[in-house]
Amino acid sequence: MQRVLKHDRTKQIFLGECKADPTIKTSQIEKIQKQLTKQQDKDDQYRKENIGHYQLLSYKPVSPSYYLKTAFSDAIMAALYALDEDYKRQKQERGLKNTEQEMTKKKRQHQIRNRHEDGGMHL
């Protein structure tokens, strides 16, 4: 529970789950929200005093169903883009390998030409 209440995003999910639970009274949820807001205000005030460039971040209320939809969507997009990134990385690696092979080939050709041009005595 401490880990959940440590981060604003997980607090919002927790509150959304509480709102979805019919056994929890709305008055209890409002009381928890007030306490969390009060603690957040204290934390923000402390940060403003001790961190000069601190800016307040406020998260909008999130329902568990909305969170699941966005998390699922984000996971799919990450998987799709990961495949695209893998393809780009593999293409770049192939290009680098081909370039290295071409440079090695030219180096050998250059070494062979130099041996014939300046090293041998032809009578």
For 91-117, the pLDDT digits (tens) are 889 889 989 999 998 888 888 777 656
Which residue range forms the structural domain that includes residue 120?
A: 63-123
pLDDT for 74 = 80
Alpha-carbon distance 54 to 31, whole Å? Answer: 28
Length of the chain: 123
76 shares a domain with 46: no
Residue 23 burial (10 A CB sphere; 0-12, 13-18, 19+) = exposed
Clarify whether residues 47 and 71 are in a common domain. no
Please identify which residue in the block is written with the tokens 């690696």: 93
Q: What angle do CA 102, 106, 109 make, to 5 degrees?
A: 140
Evaluate if residue 118 carries a pLDDT over 60.
Answer: no
Of 1-10, 82-91, 114-123, highest mean pLDDT: 82-91
**Burial class for 29, CB neighbours closer than 10 Å (0-12, 13-18, 19+):** middle
- Please give the Cα distance from 80 to 107 (Å, whole number): 41
Whole-prediction pTM value? 0.40
Please indicate, yes or no, whether residues 41 and 72 belong to a single structural domain of this protein.
Answer: no
Of 41, 62, 83, which residue constitutes the final position of a domain? 62
φ/ψ of residue 100, rounded to 5 = -65, -40
More confident residue, 7 or 41: 41
Beta strand spans in 1-123 (E): none
Span 9-50, pLDDT tens digits: 777 778 888 888 889 888 988 898 888 888 888 887 887 788
